[in-house]
Amino acid sequence: MLGRKERDQLELFITGSLRQLVPDDHILARVDRVLDLSWLRDEVADLYCTDNGRPGIDPEVAVRLMVAGFLLGIIHDRRLLREAQVNLAIRWFVGYGLHEVLPDHSSLTRIRQRWGAERFRNIFKRTVKACIAARIATGEIVHIDASLIRANVSWDALAGHHVADVEAANPSEFEWEDRQSGKYKKICTTDPDATMATNGRNRRLEPSYKQHTAVDDVKGVVVDVEVTTGEENEGMAVEAQLDAIAMTTGVAIKMATMDAGYAYAKVFRALEDRQIDAIVPAKAERRPGKVIPTRRFRLDAKHNLVRCPTGKILRPKGKLQRGSFQHFHASREDCRACPLRPRCVSPSRHARVVVFNINHPSLLRARRKRLRWGNHEHHFYRRHRWRVEGLHGEAKTWHGLARAIRRGRDNMRIQAFLTAAAVNLKRLAAALFAILLVFAPHVNDRIRFQRIAST
Ligand code: SF4
């Protein structure tokens, strides 16, 4: 018989908790079992007046709202609060009843401004520690990679500035050798923290931020995340990131995998200093050209000199450039009489000059190690691809990381920390759910009964 459902019936009353109406396997129900924010009130207490003013929103409610948004992919505050009006699961997750008025969306903006990015970093770090305690992460093998995030800037907001002016205004941003070349440089007038960058030679430059992510090998838990401007080189953030991971996890890293974008002498030196086994492929070498390349010159680090292909000595000259680059000069007499001179010395110069990084011996050791890679190294490098690159894909597809929600690096950092925290909570909830299913096959019934009993 064709059924009919009467609509617009008035509810006289609803008994029990909203929890009974949320399925046990709903993502918010799962995450609620592992989310502990009891420490949060003390963490932010110093930001509020103790005896004056209107009571603010409970910090736990604010964080639960934001986490729910990132878990469900509703990343904009207005949309999130509109959805929360009608979404039973979100109302229950943040602790609001059906008839209670939810906070205004602008309250979340003020909370972010008041707390600052570091408090959100602490929330993220708590999720890492919870994953370590639950043994779904060890912090011993980490996969590190970076991904560009499109800034929240329109194309109309880009303006051309003379490079010299931009460098003068941001001297610390231009210490790395791979800076953007050209006389003019595009800057974002509405979000000056974002810079033009691209992740492919044939793709156009876009105003971007760069997220540097470290993922644990066991279950793909994010153990560290940091955000820089889009044009920052990957290698610049590695050293600080390695130390931050060890601080957060309390465990010394044994192995780190990275892609060829990190194959710099400075990075290898940082890994060697920390006794970390590096799984990093070497950069592809350029095709041989007319000029004899620098790699044909041999650095003798012990005696601080370089030998050219004919065995002549090049000696260091001048101060270190940008803190780590040393120039080595051949003698005019040697080059004048050399048969290789047409292929080695530019017509405008009297003798060959080569530049080496002071950490070049670390790079040479890493290259030699790369030639000896076996199944073990290839296995972990394959895991690198689907662990950390998979994480970036997951965060961009399901949790709104494809584009910055707000402007400014601090806002972008908060977005990155909350996204990483949401992913970690998801991993933690999945692990707990798997354990419950093993030890209690009728887990849904058990949890339901426990909830009803506790309400
Ligand atoms: S031109 Fe000078 S630096 Fe080059 S191979 Fe000859 S002697 Fe060595």
Is pLDDT at 378 greater than 70 in this prediction? yes
CA of 268 to the centre of ligand 1 (A): 29
CA of 322 to the centre of ligand 1 (A): 26
CA of 451 to the centre of ligand 1 (A): 80
CA of 367 to the centre of ligand 1 (A): 25
Q: Is the CB of 335 under 6 A from ligand 1?
A: yes
CA of 75 to the centre of ligand 1 (A): 60
CA of 363 to the centre of ligand 1 (A): 24
Higher pLDDT, 437 or 327: 327
User: Which of ligand 1's atoms lies nearest the C-alpha of 331?
Assistant: 2
- Express as a percent the part of the chain with pLDDT over 70: 85
Arithmetic mean of pLDDT over the chain? 86
CA of 283 to the centre of ligand 1 (A): 26
For residues 357 and 363, is the Cβ–Cβ distance under 8 A? yes
Among 82-91, 197-206, 293-302, 387-396, name the one with the lowest average pLDDT: 197-206
Using pLDDT thresholds of 50, 70 and 90, give the confidence band for residue 75: very high
Using pLDDT thresholds of 50, 70 and 90, give the confidence band for residue 175: very low
Q: Is the CB of 33 under 6 A from ligand 1?
A: no
Give the pLDDT score at 11: 64
Q: How far apart are CA 252 and CA 370, in angstroms?
A: 23
CA of 327 to the centre of ligand 1 (A): 15
Residue with CA at minimum distance from ligand 1 atom 2: 335
CA distances to 97, 156, 178, 301, 329 from 359, in Å: 61, 43, 17, 9, 19
Q: How far apart are CA 187 and CA 108, in angstroms?
A: 29
Give the pLDDT score at 319: 79
CA of 312 to the centre of ligand 1 (A): 7
Give me 54's structure tokens: 């209107």
Q: Is the CB of 312 under 6 A from ligand 1?
A: yes
Pocket test for ligand 1, best of 333, 334, 349 (most atoms within 8 A of CB): 334
Pocket test for ligand 1, best of 294, 298, 310 (most atoms within 8 A of CB): 310
Give 249-264 pLDDT, tens digit per residue: 999 999 999 998 899 8
CA of 357 to the centre of ligand 1 (A): 20
Q: Is the CB of 330 under 6 A from ligand 1?
A: yes
Give me 249's structure tokens: 């996890």
Residue with CA at minimum distance from ligand 1 atom 7: 335
Q: How far apart are CA 70 and CA 65, in angstroms?
A: 9
Give 380-402 pLDDT, tens digit per residue: 999 998 899 999 999 999 999 99
Give every CB contact of residue 65 below 8 A, 6+ residues apart in sequence: 80, 81, 84, 90, 94, 103, 108
Using pLDDT thresholds of 50, 70 and 90, give the confidence band for residue 168: low
Give 21-51 pLDDT, tens digit per residue: 898 889 999 999 999 999 999 999 999 888 8
Give me 244's structure tokens: 């931050």
Q: How far apart are CA 36 and CA 207, in angstroms?
A: 37
User: Which of ligand 1's atoms lies nearest the C-alpha of 309?
Assistant: 5
Q: Is the CB of 338 under 6 A from ligand 1?
A: yes
Give 199-254 pLDDT, tens digit per residue: 776 678 888 999 999 999 999 999 999 999 988 888 888 999 999 999 999 999 99
Q: Is the CB of 310 under 6 A from ligand 1?
A: yes
Q: Is the CB of 329 under 6 A from ligand 1?
A: no
CA of 295 to the centre of ligand 1 (A): 13
Is pLDDT at 284 greater than 70 in this prediction? no
- Express as a percent the part of the chain with pLDDT over 90: 54
Q: Is the CB of 352 under 6 A from ligand 1?
A: yes
The pTM score is 0.84
Q: How far apart are CA 65 and CA 82, in angstroms?
A: 12
Q: Is the CB of 334 under 6 A from ligand 1?
A: yes
Is pLDDT at 373 greater than 50 in this prediction? yes
Q: Which residues of 386-413 are buried (b: 16+ CB within 10 A; e: fewer)?
A: ebbbebbeebbebbbbeebbbbbbbbbb
